[in-house]
Amino acid sequence: MRITKNKFINKHGFTLRSKAHASKQGFTLIELLVTMGVIAILVSLSIFALQAARESARDAKRKADVEAIRTALELYRADCGRYPNASGNQVPNPLSGTGSCSGNTYMQEVPEDPVSGNIYRYNRSSNTSYTLCAFLEGGGSDAGCGSCGSAGACNYKTTNP
């Protein structure tokens, strides 16, 4: 074996490098653990951000549903001269005219809350007054309109204009 500057040449003529100059093969255990830790932190942060976005989307749907129900109730009142009777603290489903305005359908299917167990509460206090309530996950003002199902008190309400 001949030795030249930092190289070893074996009897077959192949060049061998010394251990000090050998190239790295693969990753060390520490490098792999650090990389896996960084990935785990990024995944956990994205899961929390996604959960908040889902809550916000469900709350936006609830507000849109309440406004759609409100519009149907106003159309009902414009035709019938009064708001419909509550059906177990809920808007009648489907919302159809009765009595002198029978035959009209104002809302084919009343929307349901995106989370099972929650409902939209409807309370007709008189022929010309009502309260419609929902429970928002992201919070809202304390509407004080009673229970909204198993999830807790309502924190979003609307009334007749």
Residue 26 domain-assigned (yes or no): no
129 pLDDT more than 60: yes
Place of tokens 């305005």: 101
Total domains present in the chain: 1
Q: Strand pairing of 156-159 and 129-134?
A: antiparallel
Q: Which residue has the tokens 């104002």?
A: 106
Question: The domain containing residue 102 runs over which residues?
Answer: 63-161
Residue-wise pLDDT for 8-47, tens only, equals: 666 666 665 555 555 567 889 999 999 999 999 999 999 9
> Residue 46 falls within a domain, yes or no?
no
Cross-sheet strand order for the sheet of 2-4: 2-4, 7-9, 15-17
150 within some domain:
yes
Report pLDDT digits (tens) over 45-68.
999 889 889 999 999 999 999 999
Assess whether pLDDT exceeds 60 at residue 2.
Answer: no
Q: What is the pLDDT of residue 136?
A: 87
Given 3-state DSSP classes, what are the helix, strand and coil percentages for the chain, each rounded to the nearest 5? Answer: 35, 20, 45
Say which CATH number the domain at 118 has.
3.30.700
* Tokens of residue 55, six digits: 């809550």
- Write out pLDDT tens, residues 80-128: 888 988 887 888 888 888 777 778 888 888 898 888 777 888 888 888 8
Confidence at residue 146, expressed as pLDDT on a 0 to 100 scale: 54
Specify if 58 maps to a domain: no
DSSP 149: B
Q: What is the pLDDT of residue 151?
A: 46
In this prediction, residue 3 carries a pLDDT of 55
Of 45, 51, 95, 50, the C-alpha closest to 70 is 95
**Pairwise CA distance, residues 134 & 120, whole Å:** 5
pLDDT band for 70, please (50, 70, 90 cuts): very high
- The top-scoring range by mean pLDDT among 7-11, 70-74, 126-130, 138-142 is 70-74
**pLDDT at residue 4, as a whole number:** 56
Say if 53 falls within a structural domain: no
Which alpha helices (H) appear in the chain, and where do they start and end? Answer: 29-80
pLDDT at 149 over 50: no
Within-domain flag for 9: no
The answer to whether residue 44 is domain-embedded is no
- Does 150 score more than 70 pLDDT? no
